[in-house]
Amino acid sequence: MCGIIGYVGTDEALPILADGLKNLEYRGYDSAGVALVNRDGIEVHKQAGEIDDLVLPDSSPETLGIGHTRWSTHGKPTDANAHPHVDCTGDVAVVHNGIIENYADLKAELREDGHEFTSETDTEVVPHMVEDELADGMSLPDAVATVVSRLEGSFALGVVAPGYDGIVATRRGSPLVVGHGESGNFIASDVPAFIEHTRQVSYIEDGDIAHVTPAGVSVEQDGEPVDRDVETVEWEAEAAEKGGYDHYMIKEIHEQPSALRQAISGRLDELHGDVDLDIDLPAEYLQSLEEIQIVACGTSYHAGLFAARLFEEYASVRASVEIASEYKFTGGRDPWRTLVVAVTQSGETADTLSALRRADQSGARTLAVTNTVGSTVTREADHSLYIRAGPEIGVAASKTFASQVATLTLLGVYLGRRRDTLGSSAASEILSNVRGLPGAVQQVLDDEDLVLEVAEEYADGDAFFFIGRGLGYPVALEGALKLKEISYDHAEGFAAGELKHGPLALVTPDTPTLAVLTDGTRPSETLNNVKEVESRGSPVVGCSSLEADEDLLDARFDVPELGVMEPLVANVYLQLFAYHVANLKGRSIDKPRNLAKSVTVE
């Protein structure tokens, strides 16, 4: 995700902002910048690329400024799209994390009023809107409060303008923290940005308007002053980067509700049963489409398996999923009526790129589904669709799987609606399940103590088997991959019906089985397979939304009801299980042996 830092006080702001940007590097970014405020105006320095390459003045006397590390969601990683963004006069500067959903309408309105834009970002509407309010005589805090009342989406904002001796900061759905220092005060997206200056922090809440000045910090909500407690951060810098979690992976597992919110933000139109994905696949091409071939590796392959089932159902089209490194043996058939979808969170996986190139050479149209704006896959594919999960640092993919599946589900609805194979009310129901994902995933995360107990009970198993049918099958594969990757235990995922065709020979009282028993997985049939392993002594843990299966299960994880999205919610239990088993064994969770985050060799 993007990172924010801001400072106002008696020290020079530039070195504090520059250090703050470096401290935010761990979050991942593709561009960076700062805005320094003086009595007459604002000086902005920003560019795409590494922070070390950002050209900044050697020194600056200014004591007020904001800085930003950008992880692109709207517009490529370019100098113009980097933050801070300014208004027409250059006198209002803004840094922003999150997504402004109604930016296109606001931008059109502002353009009609004569505002000129210099970037493709959603953010840039904010300084222009503040400019209008200031021109009407409002103070900066009132202008920001008025502007945010017109914004839809999730955001954290830091705003500066000459004439106001501080930073106005606000948030809705994106984190924002204020730091209370001795020689000045700070805003940031998270504590590591300023931890070497102060450990005294206040967490800003949704709807708060914070006035951060050299003299202090005051906060208003709906125009009334409110108190936000000042807390002392006890973590060391490294732990603070992980938000107090022991590992990036568990932090990223817990980030799934907000990652999912970002993935679906501005894309759902439940009223009309449709989605807005901003991919311009021609209508005639979609109508004549005969096959979708998904190419991907590892976790992205599992997301592809999930999606293929939905594409077939929603869009009535043949959908296959190919392990990308195998595509060279099978790809290239019927290219004219085939859409090849490359699913890759990094956008740099060599096997997936090679499959994409083969598809391209054969003449097929290609679509990249990725987390990384500006990555190689987006430069080479005909179209790109972003999953907007924010950067993932743990080698084991967690939040990106959830965001891939959610985004691919929306793609399925998009295809079904445009091919007239999915009615609007069926689409609305699917979309309301997608909308329920962040809340349902949060419910699972709130159940983590139970997962820890179960992990303690079974961590010493000789091997672990994961079973599921339908949409539960890719989840079983993903659950097993997660466990083997980080715990180094032998773990296998099976289509539940396959057990009796061989794998059952491996089942003993020392091989726990984890079963997916939710909507979309034919759970009553899987219960028969549960009986098969149980009668061979295997303890069974069920991720279940069924009403009555306790008698068959040794442990049960409750999956909230969410229709077709239930298997994805069940997967969060499997992520937590894998994490806790690996943690109990003291494994190197964020960097498992022999593995790399981005696999750039074939």
Our CB check for ligand M6R shows the closer of 249 and 555 to be 249
Outline where 122-175 has alpha helix (H). Answer: 125-135, 140-148
- The pairing of strands 231-232 and 268-269 is unpaired
369 binds ligand M6R (CB under 6 A): no
- Rounded to the nearest whole angstrom, what is the least distance from the CB of residue 346 to ligand M6R in the complex? 3
Q: How far is the CB of 419 from ligand M6R (least distance, A)?
A: 27
- The binding track of 325-344 with respect to ligand M6R, each residue x by CB under 6 A or -, is -------------------x
Shortest distance, CB of residue 387 to ligand M6R, whole angstroms? 10
Instruction: Give whichever of 283 and 595 is closer to ligand M6R, judged by the CB atom.
Output: 595
- Choosing from 144, 157, 308, 396, the residue that interacts with ligand M6R (CB under 6 A) is 396
Is the link from the previous residue into 84 a cis peptide, with omega within 30 of 0?
A: yes
Q: Residue ranges of the alpha helices (H) in 535-565?
A: none
How far apart CA 80 and CA 85 sit, in angstroms, is 9
Provide the minimum distance between the beta carbon of 250 and ligand M6R in the complex, in angstroms, as a whole number. 14
Q: Tokens for 221?
A: 């909500």
Chosen residue from 277, 426, 552, 599 binding ligand M6R by CB under 6 A: 599
Question: Is residue 253 near ligand M6R by the rule CB under 6 A?
Answer: no
**Closer residue to ligand M6R (CB): 472 or 592:** 592
Q: Which residue in the set 256, 262, 293, 352 belongs to the binding site for ligand M6R (CB under 6 A)? A: 352
Select from 283-291, 295-303, 537-545, 559-567 the region that touches ligand M6R (CB under 6 A).
Answer: 295-303
Task: Verify binding: residue 479, ligand M6R, rule CB under 6 A.
Answer: no
546 and 576 Cβ atoms separated by less than 8 Å:
no
CA 451 – CA 535 distance, rounded (Å):
24
The answer to the question of residue 350 lying near ligand M6R (CB under 6 A) is no
The Cβ-side half-sphere exposure at 251, using a 13 Å CA radius, reads 19
Query: What residues are paired with 365 via a beta bridge?
Result: 339
Residue 365 to residue 355: CA distance in whole angstroms: 13
Under the binding rule (CB under 6 A), the answer on residue 300 touching ligand M6R is yes
Tally Cβ neighbours within 10 Å of residue 176: 25
* Interatomic CA distance for residues 55 and 26, integer angstroms: 20
Using CB under 6 A as the binding rule, whether residue 346 contacts ligand M6R is answered as yes
- Based on CB atoms, which residue is closest to ligand M6R, 22 or 383? 383
Q: What is the spatial distance between Cα 297 and Cα 304, in angstroms, rounded to a whole number?
A: 9
- CA angle, 110 as apex, 104 and 116 as ends, to 5°? 100
Choosing from 22, 76, 328, 597, the catalytic residue is: 597
Min separation Cβ 234 and ligand M6R, Å: 31
CB 557 within 8 A of CB 564: no
Q: Total number of residues binding ligand M6R (CB under 6 A)?
A: 17
CA angle 260, 262, 268 (to 5 degrees): 85
Are 324 and 302 within 8 A, CB to CB?
no
Site string for ligand M6R, 189-228 (x = CB under 6 A): ----------------------------------------
Does residue number 474 form part of the binding site for ligand M6R (CB under 6 A)? Answer: no
Of the ranges 53-61, 226-234, 345-353, 458-466, which one interacts with ligand M6R (CB under 6 A)? 345-353
Strands (E), 459-583: 463-468, 490-495, 513-517, 540-544, 555-558
In the complex, least distance from residue 466 CB atom to ligand M6R, rounded to whole angstroms: 14
* 571 in contact with ligand M6R (CB under 6 A): no
Q: Which stretch binds ligand M6R (CB under 6 A): 230-238, 298-306, 419-427, 530-538?
A: 298-306
Q: Which residues pair with 338 in a beta bridge?
A: 291
Rule CB under 6 A: choose which of 345, 511, 513, 571 binds ligand M6R: 345
Q: What are phi and psi of 44, to 5 degrees?
A: -110, 135
Q: Does 154 bind ligand M6R (CB under 6 A)?
A: no
252 near ligand M6R, rule: CB under 6 A: no
Active-site residue (options: 2, 107, 251, 297)? 2
Specify the residue, 97 or 299, whose C-beta has the smaller distance to ligand M6R: 299
Distance between CA atoms of 583 and 585, rounded to whole angstroms?
A: 5
Binding residue (CB under 6 A) for ligand M6R from 299, 403, 433, 529: 299
Q: Which of residues 35-54 bind ligand M6R (CB under 6 A)?
A: none
- Rounded CA-CA distance 525/469 in Å is 8
Whether 2 is catalytic is yes
Taking the C-alpha atoms of residue 336 and residue 289, their distance in angstroms, rounded to an integer, is 8
Q: Which of 60, 63, 198, 349 binds ligand M6R (CB under 6 A)?
A: 349
Candidates 157, 253, 395, 589; binder of ligand M6R (CB under 6 A) is 395
Closest CA to 343 of 310, 307, 369: 369
From the list 6, 20, 192, 298, which residue makes contact with ligand M6R (rule: CB under 6 A)? 298
**In the complex, minimum distance from the CB of residue 344 to ligand M6R, in angstroms, rounded to a whole number:** 3
Name the residue with tokens 């200056």. 197
Q: CA-to-CA distance for 539 and 521, rounded, in angstroms?
A: 20
Nearest CA to 491 among 503, 482, 502, 501? 482
- 600 token code pair: 């750039």
Q: Which residues bind ligand M6R (CB under 6 A)?
A: 297-300, 344-346, 349, 352, 395-397, 481, 485, 595, 598-599
Task: Tell me which residues are annotated as active site.
Answer: 2, 597
